[in-house]
Amino acid sequence: MKSALDDERISVLRQRLVRMHFESGVGHIGGNLSCLDALALLFNEYLQEDDRFVLSKGHSAGALYVALWSVGKISETDLATFHQDNTLLAGHPPANSIEEILFATGSLGHGLSLAAGTALARRFKSSGGHTYCLTSDGEWQEGSTWEALIFAAHHRLANLTILIDHNGLQGFGSTAEVASMFPLHQRLQGFDIYIQVIPGHDLASIRAALDAPADRPRVILLNTIKGKGVSFMENRMEWHYLPLKDADYQQALRELSGE
């Protein structure tokens, strides 16, 4: 069920994501909307059998589930159970239940190490394929994320791509207010990695970045908008947490469907 994505299809996935969060009454929607384009593109156009993906920003599990649903790896029935009792689909990616979800994440600062270890193991095994990891921007405040970057660069893991959802907002403030590393790409540039900074909601730009050859770890910094596509959520920190009320949901659907 994989197929090329376009903005119209992304909009459908956004609506499905918002509906899922509304029906479940849970938050974390803002950071899901900011990374959905890249996630959906990866699963629909890039990831093959030999490839691996690690969602380091586990609080964007909703976007991951919708991306997996879009390629038929999660059923509509299961998606409807998101965040409910007896669900496979917890608020953060679960362990040992969905083949494409390699690791239970949600505690920030683990995923890049897991991706680096996966990439190195696959290089040792001559397994081919590529490993992708999506981190948040706030997650770069975790020391272990830098440990992982040092490791990936030292081992020159050319089979590793690190995507950063750079929406500029974290749990209790903006990244600039909390612990500024702005501009983040300049902080990263001292490492022996290949960095690209792109608009994170532009499918053509994401494709071009993913297609660019690299002989070392590749970092794609996605400049994104938290709450992308819903006017009252965009760039608003509170939508890191808030659940949608009925009126919010109706308005969000109208905006996302272009009505």
Partner 1 sequence: MRQQLCDALVKRAALPQMMFLTGDLGFMALEPLSAALGNRFINAGVAEQNMVSVAAAMAREGMDVWVYSIAPFCYARPFEQIRNDVTFHALPVRLIGNGGGYGYGVMGPTHHAIEDYGVLLTLPGMRVYIPVFDQDIAAVIDRVGATDQPAYIRLGRGEAPPGFTPPEYAGWRQLVDGQGPPVIAVGPLAGTYIRAIASLPQATRPSLWAISELPLAANPPPDELIERIASRGQVCVAEEHVAQGSFASSLAMYMLQNGVFARMVHLHARAHHYAKYGSQAYLRAQSGLDPESLLRALSVG
Between 146 and 249, whose beta carbon lies closer to partner 1? 146
Give residues 148-167 in contact with partner 1 (rule: CB under 8 A): 148, 150-151, 154
Task: Read off the amino acid at residue 227.
Answer: G
Terminal-to-terminal C-alpha distance of the chain: 27
Query: Cα Rg for the chain, rounded, in angstroms?
Result: 17
**Under rule CB under 8 A, residue 203 binds partner 1:** no
60 binds partner 1 (CB under 8 A): no
Give the one residue of 117, 214, 236, 251 binding partner 1; rule: CB under 8 A.
117
Q: Which stretch binds partner 1 (CB under 8 A): 42-50, 117-125, 203-211, 247-255?
A: 117-125
Taking the least distance from each CB to partner 1, the nearer of 68 and 116 is: 116
Q: Which helix (DSSP H) or strand (DSSP E) does residue 98 occupy?
A: none
* Among the residue ranges 79-87, 123-131, 162-170, 178-186, the one whose residues contact partner 1 (CB under 8 A): 123-131
Q: Which of 147, 156, 207, 253 binds partner 1 (CB under 8 A)?
A: 147
Helical segments of the chain, H only: 7-24, 29-41, 61-70, 76-79, 111-124, 143-154, 175-179, 184-188, 203-211, 246-257
Cα(250)–Cα(247) distance, integer angstroms: 5
Cβ atoms of 124 and 134 closer than 8 Å: no
Cα gap 94→74, rounded to integer Å: 13
**110 or 166: whose CB is closer to partner 1?**
110
Binding mask 13-52 for partner 1 (x = CB under 8 A): ----------------------------------------
E strands in the chain: 52-55, 131-136, 160-166, 169-170, 173-174, 194-199, 218-223
In angstroms, what is the minimal distance from the CB of 175 to partner 1? 22
Summarize as ranges the residues that interact with partner 1 (CB under 8 A): 95-96, 102-105, 107, 109-110, 113-118, 120-122, 124-125, 127, 143-144, 147-148, 150-151, 154
